[in-house]
Amino acid sequence: MQGVAKLYRVGEETVHALRGVDLAIGANELVAVMGPSGSGKSTLMNILGCLDVPTSGRYRLDGRDVAALSQADLAQVRGRRIGFVFQTFELLARQTALRNVELPMIYSGASASQRKRRAVEALERVGLGDRMGHRPNQMSGGQRQRVAIARAIVQRPALLLADEPTGNLDTQTGEEILDLFADLHREGQTIVVVTHEPDVAARCRRIVRIRDGRVESDECREP
């Protein structure tokens, strides 16, 4: 991102959600984004995740300028190149784990058997090979978040974005999810985690702090 600004107009007022953010995230980084409520984290995530475009400035993902894309092209980049993990899992309640993970591939051009094979692989990768036929209400919170992670990685996204991924989990289960992120990172996955929790940020080598729509600090620590 170079000079990324985002304005929201609310009636007569203009809200400066981001005020010129420069941020370069390399392949295979594991980055925590922290900051107080209202500082611009969600706005930053929405732009990183191609859910929204900046008002001004540049955003390149995979070397491709996405700041200028149409909504349709943006949706395609988002669907193919970004994986999302949320605090509340956001699984389809009536569908099995397998169906939940197959879903993002519906428009991918992959055949039904390819979709199934990839979904099975992703579920095995997160340790749920024996839960594929279960629905979310038959699983624990940690298992549900694993399904969500399998869904997020099934298309091998350039960027995995996680918004408070352990916010609804107890400490032990949260640790297991962070261990899984660490494993995926070791295998080369680029991951950005938004979190309020210092314990979560401490698991990331790089911590970017946002305040008042600006990058307040950007620190790398030795692992």
Which residues here bind ligand ADP, judged by CB under 6 A? 8, 10, 15, 17, 35, 37-43
Shortest distance (Å) from residue 14 CB to ligand ADP: 9
Cβ nearer to ligand ADP, comparing 11 with 188: 11
Cβ nearer to ligand ADP, comparing 15 with 220: 15
Q: Which strands sit side by side in the sheet containing 191-194, from one edge to the other?
A: 82-86, 159-163, 191-194, 30-34, 206-211, 214-220
Place of tokens 């620590």: 221
210 within 8 A of 35, measured Cβ to Cβ: yes
Cβ nearer to ligand ADP, comparing 39 with 143: 39
Shortest distance (Å) from residue 15 CB to ligand ADP: 4
**Token couple for 70:** 């149409």
From the list 198, 170, 203, the residue with the least C-alpha distance to 184 is 203
At residue 191's C-alpha, the angle toward residues 56 and 72, to 5°, is: 45
Shortest distance (Å) from residue 184 CB to ligand ADP: 23
Shortest distance (Å) from residue 199 CB to ligand ADP: 18
CA–CA distance, 75 with 52 (Å, rounded to integer): 10
Place of tokens 């008002």: 55
Helix or strand or coil: residue 201?
A: helix
Cβ nearer to ligand ADP, comparing 37 with 113: 37
Instruction: List, in order, residues 6 or more apart from 60 with CB less than 8 Å away.
Output: 66, 67
Shortest distance (Å) from residue 75 CB to ligand ADP: 17
Shortest distance (Å) from residue 211 CB to ligand ADP: 9
Cβ nearer to ligand ADP, comparing 38 with 198: 38
